[in-house]
Structure 1
Amino acid sequence: MFPDKFEYYAPKSIEEATKFLSGHEDAKVLAGGQSLIPMLKLRFTSIPELVDIGKISGLDNISINGNTLEIGAMARTSDIAENQTVRKIFPLLSEAAGLIADPLVRNMGTIGGDICHGDPANDFPAVMLALDADFIASSAKGKRTIKAEDFFIDTFTNALESGEILTGIKIENRNSSGRYLKYKKYAGDFSILGLAVDLSMDGKMVKRAGIGLTNCGATPLKARDAEKFLEGKELTNKNIESAANLLLKVTDFMDDDNGSTKFKEKLLKYLFTKAVKGIGGVQE
């Protein structure tokens, strides 16, 4: 199928892009296009004006500024997965990027597009929640910072206001280690569910815990109760099991073709236990 007709606009600067958006409320920003283009072709959505930010220089940077990782919204998923600094300091982010879809999607898809699409089955949002990332939104009025936990409003709905573009992501280095695990039926398919776990350790004690859930509800979810429970505790089998049970307080599973609610709850707890033990070196 072919999409409905639309006007195509390719600004060369953020200022030019935000100025255009401020006067065109129905316009949509195009980043990597790996989610938006298929939806347009299948006519799941219709957009009168498309603003392609792919020609704006500097939006694909990946760098360390002091103690903070800064990622441009147009950074390709494959570049994040292969970046040696990200792999060393933020293994959770690197692992998740390498598990997204297939090489074609990773080479074309962007972190900003993945996050802004608002699909609860996308992988980067849960990682951002676990890492307590900050998002930089730019508009004709200036810039503002949105915390990851405040960004995901509903399915396919985020906290960006009319005229705003997600231009960057900032993640503080907390000397942590993490894992991203997911379960899917087919290679390259969306996850039945997944989770991101990030832990900062002080010896055997959990100093800080970050947990984000993929495809466990209408939006990406942050498991705050489980995070708070783990902090200040050792990673014993008992504590891990208690934290796993707390994950279910935020999930909103439904029976569907991917399995029953009970199956998904059991699967989530299994993946969480595997992730935490992998990070903390807990003996079986």
Structure 2
Amino acid sequence: MKTNSLSAWILAVRPYSLGNSVILVLVGSALAWSDGAFHLLPALLCLLFALLMQCTANLVNDLWDYLKGADQPDRLGPDRAFAKGYITLGAMKGGIAAFTLAACAAGCALLAWALRHDVLRYGGWELVAVGLLCVVFAYFYTAGPWPLAYHGLGDVAVILFFGLIPVGFTYYLQTGTWNWEVTLAALACGLVIDTMLMINNFRDRDEDARCRKRTVVVLLGAAFGRWGYLLLGVAAAALCLTLAFAGRYGAALLPLLYLTLHVATWRKMVRIDHGDALNVCLGETARNIMLFGALLTVGILIG
């Protein structure tokens, strides 16, 4: 692969993972639609911000996992562009800066729309604070003197920044409100997306232990990774069931179909147990996450 080529950058931003951002905005927007407050422009801007921030986080992870020794050219998972030498150090730093600035521009556009339409309760400062928090955590997930992913907090960060914040604020920006149904749907999304981190950490547990990357699987053992993966998906579906109390029967029941594929992937994960063969489970997990998001979105829309 040619150094700093378009193909190298596509590899670096990990397009297979970007569907996560899409489903989060879809779920938040579906909730807004069902409550009669959907707005296309802020929904699109939320999607743009989410995608750009995820690309930023992926590039930071690509660079710093290598610098910290967690990603080597012979890693078990999918190729990392910087570790393989496909992107130079200067170009990677420039790319991180460019994606960060683009995300901030999208955030400013969101703020301008929200202020013009008077949907924010606290004058826009809440949006500024959340936007800055997203930028900070995109960096400190793997970079900095105390990276979250290296101290067993990666899963907490995923549930917060790939669940509660994107779904909740996509809804809030369109409606000006937040309720318990939004919180439960957002938390369910975060738990499902965390299955991708769990399978990654389960696969990489030996490498992570060697480089002192203390993920929850390293700290609590492989058995925790096996059962944790299963329980994350089951807990997400169970949370969706509670939406029936709000009369959202479609949103409560349709996500149960996700469990069939989730359990099948878990059984395969347990059978394979270690090695790069677990990348099959990673691909299936990405598929399952998209299915969950689609089922929950449709379920919300049909009531």
Do they superpose with TM above 0.5?
A: no
Q: Decide which structure has greater strand share.
A: 1
Q: With the length of structure 2 as denominator, give the TM-score of the two structures.
A: 0.29
- Whose helix proportion is higher, 1 or 2? 2
Which is bigger in relative contact order (C-alpha 8 A, separation at least 6)? 2
Q: Compute the TM-score of the two structures, normalised by the length of structure 1.
A: 0.30
